[in-house]
Amino acid sequence: MTIQLNTDKNLTIHQEYDEKIQTQLNEGLSRYSDLITRLEVHLSDENGSKDGLDDKRCLLEARITGKDPIAVTNMGNTYDLAITGALTKLKSTLEKVAGKMKAH
């Protein structure tokens, strides 16, 4: 599974944080690694440089072999919370997709 990390102009990712995100996603989605060919992560700050509640956005787009891509979005006070929430949503969606694939 290839992970591609994308950010908006308001965020610069340092190597340590990039590695932390990659590890979190690899561990969280290890059960589905045979389904996912590529995972795109889009991090953005909806308010730019202004402060705000739940203004950090994480969009996860999973490319699945033989299926349409699956995309989930989550907002949070921090990027970590946004990523964690989006990962939870993606795992739930992948569970349904994997179940349907086994049923056929």
Task: Please give the tally of structural domains in the chain.
Answer: 1
Give the domain range for residue 84.
2-103
Using CA atoms, how far apart are residues 17 and 45, in angstroms rounded to an integer?
Answer: 16
For the entire predicted model, the pTM comes to 0.89
CATH, residue 23:
3.30.160.100
Tens-digit pLDDT profile for residues 11-55: 888 999 999 999 999 999 999 988 999 999 999 998 876 777 778
